[in-house]
A = this chain, B = another copy of it.
């Protein structure tokens, strides 16, 4: 499938998943797509934990309130470390975001659906911290995102977006166009 079709066809999925396991081979392909993403000064601040053990998955799901992706047969947890690229500059947010986007595309390309759950687990109630404690992630790593992986059991919906023409420009800035929403 053409990469532009995958990029343009991807959307966030918040529905039920089929009770079909995700082969390790596919989880590895997905995490590899994440690991090869570019990173600021090649610091590779992002790492990944795949969860497909049913008991561990249930334990993690029980920590997520309100619950999300309760039927997903696998999760990928995205971990970041604050490694400075140079001086006081750290690009770890950019690094893990590029890695997540690569994984979302790989997930789609392999026939699965997912959703970028970040704010939901990193908000004030710190679900990510609870998950980290549950699986023994050391303090220097921070879980920043949860990606469910599985086959959709419902129709995948598209979200509406600002018209493309209002987000791009050629050779300058035209308030009348780009500023519009």
Interfacial residues, chain A to chain B (CB-CB below 8 A): 1-4, 6-8, 10-12, 24, 27-29, 31-33, 35-38, 40-42, 44, 46-53, 56, 79, 85-86, 89, 91, 93-95, 97-98, 100-102, 104-106, 109, 116, 118-119, 123, 135-138, 141, 159, 161-162, 164, 167-173, 175, 178-179
Contact = CB atoms under 8 A, between A and B. Distances in A.
Interface core residue of A4, A136, A178 (most chain B CB under 10 Å) = A4
This protein's copies in its complex:
2
A35 B29 CA distance: 25
B179 A138 contact: yes
A170 B138 contact: no
A48 B162 CA distance: 13
Given A7-B33, A138-B175, A172-B135, A38 B50 contact: no
B3 A46 contact: no
Nearest to A160: B42
A161 B35 contact: yes
Given A138-B179, A168-B47, A36 B7 contact: yes
Contact of A173 (B109, B138, B178, B179): B138
A134 to B, nearest CB: 10
A42 B56 CA distance: 31
B118 A171 contact: no
A52 B100 CA distance: 30
30 contacts: A1-B2, A3-B3, A3-B105, A3-B106, A4-B106, A4-B109, A7-B33, A7-B102, A8-B36, A10-B36, A12-B38, A31-B164, A31-B167, A32-B164, A38-B104, A38-B116, A40-B118, A40-B119, A42-B159, A47-B167, A47-B178, A49-B172, A56-B172, A97-B97, A97-B98, A97-B101, A101-B102, A135-B172, A138-B175, A141-B178
